Every structure is written in C-alpha cells, then in structure tokens.
Chain A
C-alpha cells in the first residue's frame, strides 16, 4: 500500500500528542509555579534496502521504469522539553507565599523522596513546620524548617526566615545544572531523569532572589498555545487529507488499473 498514508499517519499521531501537551499547558494556565511543556519534531529517515542494491544497469539506454523514492521521511515527536523561563510574579501579600525570581528550586520532602518545585505557596502547619499546600515539609539548609510563633515573620531575598528579626532557618534553594533532564512528576514537582536525584548546586545569590508575598504564575503563554493548537489542528487535517488522497489513489489502482477492457 501507499507509503504516504503511513507517513501521514505518523504525522497525524504526532499532532495528536502535541494537542494533548497543549491542552495540559492550557489546563495549568492558573497553576502557580507550573512550567510549560514544549515539543519538537524530528524526521525519521528511512532508507530502503533496495537503495543499496547495486545498480543492475549495464547499459545507459536501460532505464528504471519508475523513479524510486530513496528516502521516506516520517515526522515523529522527538522530544518534549520543559520551558524553564521565569513566570511573572503576582503579589498576594501573604506571609508564606514565596516566589523565586531567577533560576532555582525549593526542595520538598515527600514519602517518595525529595522533589524540586517552583510553587512557593507554603503554610505553617499546626506543628509550626513550613509545608507545601499538600502538607509536605519544605527543606531548609539543614532539614525541615520550624517557624516559631511570632509577631512578624519575614523572608529575605537570600531565603533566610526571620521571626521578630531572629533568623530561624534558611530555605534550601538549589539550582539544577542541567534543567533539561528534569522530569515532571505532577503536583508541581520535578525530579531528575528516571526519578533519580538531579545534580544540584547552590544558587547564585546575585541571580536568584526569594520574594515574600508573591507567587510565581505559570509561564504558559495562552496566545502561543492557541496558535500551536491551530497549527496542530490544521496539520492534523492536512495529514488526514494525505491519507484520504492515497486511499483514493489505491482505490483507482485496484479498480481501474486492474480492469480488463
């Protein structure tokens, strides 16, 4: 059967996955600390065995009956990367809303191990621990952070937590050497490739600051996503057109070419 319909099928499937990723970005258009996913496509070059066959022509006048396609390109999804650009900061005025500007992540201890997050909507739980909104403790430079009751709780740009001007702990903010290897695990958490701990290094204090009373909005650009959606939709349509055209051609082949007159 026609190679083109198989190629187009690959293309259509890739665009379906692309739409799924766009839908997820849009669904998270209001999720604090969410980072948008981006997709890239690649061609898969397929070379036929016959391409390597020695040319049987020994005479210039001998011609091939049909030009053979040497290379068939099938688009497929190559990679999905997390767009780590800074999201805009929204002021909330809440004491425990912390947003990072610049690279870096907060560390969170969960029953499944340590995770990284950019979502700084934290709380002080009944035991006085600083926790995420799922109740997992946020890690400081030396383990979990306990914030005693006090009149004024402030967090400075370096991540030090002060209660009535006494330092009670420092947030354990880390930078990831290669953010491309980060994987999302849901709940706004990131982990390294294959769930391993990613290689981290201390943050550069001149580039990364902690902002108290702010939350980091997702970096989803709704317009870009909409355009991506139109693109995915239209190319899906184009691929299905290819499938139906090659179907028509196959039909003609079976009905007309084989016809005895």
Chain B
C-alpha cells in the first residue's frame, strides 16, 4: 500500500500532540507559577531509492539521490521556565521569585519537590505550607502572636508582634538547576529532580544566578494566549493538510483498484 497513508498518519498523530500541549497550556493560563510547554518534532527515517553518487547507465554519476521520508515523530515536550507576570496581592505570605530558582517543599510522603508557585499559607501548627499543605523547606513556624511577617529580597523572614518585637527569623533559600526543562512535572504546581535536571543547588536569593524574592506578589503562569492560539491554528491546519494527504492517497488507491473491472 501507499507509504503516504502511514506518513500522513504520523503527521496527524504529531499534530494531535501539538494541540494537546497547547490545550494544556491554555487550560493553565491562570495557574500560579505554571510554565508553558512546547512540543518539538523531528523527521523520521528515510527510504533511499537511489543513492546519490551512484553511476548511472550513461556512466556519469548521479548528483542527487532519491529518498522518501517516512513522516514525523515528536521528540520532546519542552517546558519553558521563562519568568511569568507578577500580580500584586498584598498578602504577606505570597512570595514570587524574580529570576531563576524554585522553592523547596516537602510532600506528605516526605519527598522533596520544587515549585515556583509562592502562594503560601499557615497550617494549624503555624508552619508555612503551600495550597496543598506541602511544607516549605526548611520548615518555618510563625508564632501565633506574630502580626507582621516581613520577607526581604534576600529571603530573610522576620515575624514581629504588634509591639515590634522580633519573635522569629528564618532564611528562605531558593534552588536552581543547571537544566530546569529536565525536571519532572508532577502536577499540583510541583516538580521533581530527574537525571536530566541535575542536582538542586541551594542559594541565597540574589546570589549568583538565583532570583530574588518579592513579598506580596504572586507569579502568574507564563502562557501567552496569543501564542497558544496561533499554535492551535498552526496545529489544526497541519492536521488538515495531513488528512488531505490521506484522502488523496485513498483516492489514488481507489482509482488504481477501479482499473480492473
């Protein structure tokens, strides 16, 4: 049967992945600290019908060959860790990272996970946790009588009571990775270290390449609606073009089949 049927199938499957990726980006357009993804593709293997440089019947060498490609395949879905927009909330425990870096959190089973979402709250013990109850690492407990929490750019947290007495101080470090796109997304706004991401490097905010902390702000998702919409159009049209290849191949096969009556 015609190769183009299968070639176009790989194209349709790849474009489906493109649409799926874009849809997930759009679904998370308002998710705090969400980082958009992009699907990347590469061409599949080639069938060589004529090798370039072979001698032809006339004794001269063919300047070019004849190769038929077998389609496309997705290689990666790449996460983009570009800075998202900041939103001013005025909430004392909303912290955004301006620049590179992640907060370290501990999930209920005791694993270290990393997140850009800085929407923190206090749990029943006064410990700083994220919206899912994962504790911010290192663990910081704010005394009950504290009325004011100040976090500096460098990550120094100090909680004071209404007389201005400092009740507790702590440092919030940020963690950077040599290859952030290598992190494994676990959902719920958190990531896990993988072999590709490299080990987490603990830094004081503002040092080396680490970002600074901004209190009272949240980092929004870095999804650009227009980019995604254009991506959807591109994906849809490419999908349609590939379906045209299939219907053309089908029509040609039908013509061929009708030859013998």
Q: Which residues does A use to contact B, with CB under 8 Å?
A: 12, 15-17, 19-32, 34, 37, 39, 77, 79-81, 92-94, 119, 121, 123-128, 133-134, 149-151, 180-181, 183-188, 193-194, 222, 225-226, 229-230, 232-233, 236-237, 240, 243-244, 247
Chain B residues near A193: list those with CB within 8 A. 51-53, 65
Name the contact of A119 in the complex, choosing from B10, B42, B72, B209 (C-beta under 8 A).
B42
- Do B8 and A126 have beta carbons less than 8 Å apart? no
Chain B residues near A121: list those with CB within 8 A. 40, 78
Chain A residues near B41: list those with CB within 8 A. 28, 30-32
Chain B residues near A134: list those with CB within 8 A. 42, 75
- Do A124 and B235 have beta carbons less than 8 Å apart? no
Chain B residues near A77: list those with CB within 8 A. 49, 66
User: Chain B residue with minimal CB distance to A238?
Assistant: B255
Which stretch of B104-112, B128-136, B173-181 is in the interface? B173-181
Once the chains are docked, how many angstroms separate the CA of A240 from the CA of B255? 7
Which stretch of B89-97, B139-147, B159-167, B236-244 is in the interface? B236-244
Q: Does B169 contact A (CB under 8 A)?
A: no
- Can you list 18 A-B pairs with a CB-CB distance of less than 8 A? A19-B248, A20-B2, A23-B249, A27-B8, A27-B242, A31-B41, A32-B41, A92-B38, A125-B198, A126-B182, A149-B209, A181-B64, A183-B67, A185-B46, A225-B241, A229-B245, A233-B248, A237-B255
Q: Separation in Å of the A5 CB from the closest CB of chain B?
A: 10
Q: Which residues does B use to contact A, with CB under 8 Å?
A: 2-4, 7-8, 10-11, 14-15, 18, 38, 40-46, 48-53, 62-72, 75-76, 78, 80, 82, 176, 178-179, 181-182, 195-199, 201, 208-209, 234-235, 237-238, 241-242, 244-245, 248-249, 251-252, 255-256, 258-259, 261
Chain A residues near B80: list those with CB within 8 A. 92-94
- Do A180 and B64 have beta carbons less than 8 Å apart? yes
The B interface is mostly helix, strand or loop, or mixed, namely: mixed
Once the chains are docked, how many angstroms separate the CA of A179 from the CA of B113? 48
Chain A residues near B3: list those with CB within 8 A. 20, 23
Chain B residues near A39: list those with CB within 8 A. 66
Chain A residues near B66: list those with CB within 8 A. 17, 39, 77, 79-80
- Do A24 and B43 have beta carbons less than 8 Å apart? yes
Name the contact of A126 in the complex, choosing from B4, B44, B196, B245 (C-beta under 8 A).
B196
User: Chain A residue with minimal CB distance to B194?
Assistant: A126
- Do B14 and A30 have beta carbons less than 8 Å apart? yes
Q: Separation in Å of the A34 CB from the closest CB of chain B?
A: 6
A-B contact number at CB 8 A = 213
Once the chains are docked, how many angstroms separate the CA of A246 from the CA of B14? 43
Once the chains are docked, how many angstroms separate the CA of A28 from the CA of B259? 32
- Do A128 and B43 have beta carbons less than 8 Å apart? no
- Do B15 and A28 have beta carbons less than 8 Å apart? no
User: Chain B residue with minimal CB distance to A150?
Assistant: B209
User: Chain A residue with minimal CB distance to B193?
Assistant: A126
Once the chains are docked, how many angstroms separate the CA of A184 from the CA of B242? 21
User: Chain A residue with minimal CB distance to B258?
Assistant: A240
- Do B45 and A186 have beta carbons less than 8 Å apart? yes
Chain A residues near B67: list those with CB within 8 A. 37, 80, 183-184
Name the contact of A149 in the complex, choosing from B196, B201, B241 (C-beta under 8 A).
B201
Given A92-B38, A186-B46, A37 and B179 contact (CB-CB distance below 8 Å): no
Max count, chain A CB within 10 A of own CB: residue among B80, B179, B256 = B179
Q: Separation in Å of the B231 CB from the closest CB of chain A?
A: 9
Name the contact of A24 in the complex, choosing from B48, B70, B178 (C-beta under 8 A).
B70
Max count, chain B CB within 10 A of own CB: residue among A15, A28, A225 = A28
Given A30-B234, A37-B67, A23 and B52 contact (CB-CB distance below 8 Å): no
- Do A125 and B196 have beta carbons less than 8 Å apart? yes
